[in-house]
Amino acid sequence: MAKIKRSSGKGVRRAAKSQSRAAGARRAKAKTTGMVDKAMGILPFTEEQWSTIWLTVIIGGAVGLAFVIANLAGVPAMAQAQVSAMASDAGFEVKGVRVSGTERMDENAVYAIALAQQNRPMPQVELEKLRAELLELPWVADARVSVQLPSTLVIDIVERKPHAVLEKPDRLMLIDASGSELEPIARDAAADMLRISGPGSARQVEPLDRLLAAAPALRPEVEAAEWVGNRRWNLSFKSGQVLALPEGDDTAASALVKFARMDGQNRLLGGQVATFDMRSPPRIYMRVPGRADAIELGTAQAAAEAEGSDTDG
């Protein structure tokens, strides 16, 4: 009589569990793939761009790994040469330069320095040395240099800001607030800028700014400043009049504030007085064209009598 062999319930359950795990794995894979596809769809890259990015990452990782291994082996020079060769073969060499931040300066000066790196393997580009060369340009206050793989140098320039004009014996020079010379400037282009003159005056730009800040109402009227004897300032106003200030930062600032107060009360600027001499505080000497002697005023008299001197001829 034939025997009927029944399948084990345990085997059925095992098969069911296996099928359940496989189905779960398929669902998880489909879900993960869907999430990745959505993420890839959100990012602004095409499939071709993604392929380039992943290729760049893979090659860059291989180059970095080779460099580390060679250094661990004690042959850094050989490692550098090998890495550079690998990088160059993989397309990691300077092919282009992107410059930003240049508004007033001639950016060709930046390209002239940066393009000396053209066709050089990226591992051989000395970014700090390149930055130091850029900082030697007159207009460059700071420079940020980086690489954009696989083949671009990125340079961001921070320019100096024109502040005044330095009068030199043979030319006019545009300078910044620290007194650094930027470039020559034509006289007509410098017409509305503060002119500074005198030996050593470029080193006194910041103290001059602090001096003029003590009397802000007068600042727009100051046309030029002459550094005299490496110790004090003569200020020339747009009216053609000159104010001789005493030595010393604090003393000069006090004198300028007093002059501003007197001008506010009596309108000294624009009058007949050609020169106001405040070198011997608290007195003021005023010289009027056509008069042999200067008018000497004490501090208490100055405000009352200065106006009168404008009408005495």
Q: DSSP letters of 246-292?
A: PSSHHHHHHHHHHHHHHHHHH--TTSS--EEE-SSTT-EEEE-TT-S
- CATH fit for domain 93-159, picks 3.30.1360.170, 3.10.20.310, 3.30.2130.10, 3.30.1200.10: 3.10.20.310
CATH number of 164-309: 3.40.50.11690
Q: Provide the residue ranges of all domains of the chain, joining segments of one domain with +.
A: 47-91, 93-159, 164-309
pLDDT at 299 (0 to 100): 45
| pLDDT tier for residue 71 given thresholds of 50, 70 and 90 | low
pTM of this structure? 0.65
Q: Which residue has the higher pLDDT, 239 or 96?
A: 239
Residue 78 vs residue 25, higher pLDDT? 25
User: If you average pLDDT over every residue of the chain, what do you get?
Assistant: 78
* Same-fold call for 93-159 versus 164-309: no
pLDDT at residue 282, rounded to an integer: 85
Position 83 pLDDT exceeds 50? no
pLDDT (tens digit, 9 = 90+) per residue, 240-257? 999 999 999 999 999 999
Alpha carbon distance 106, 23 (integer Å): 66
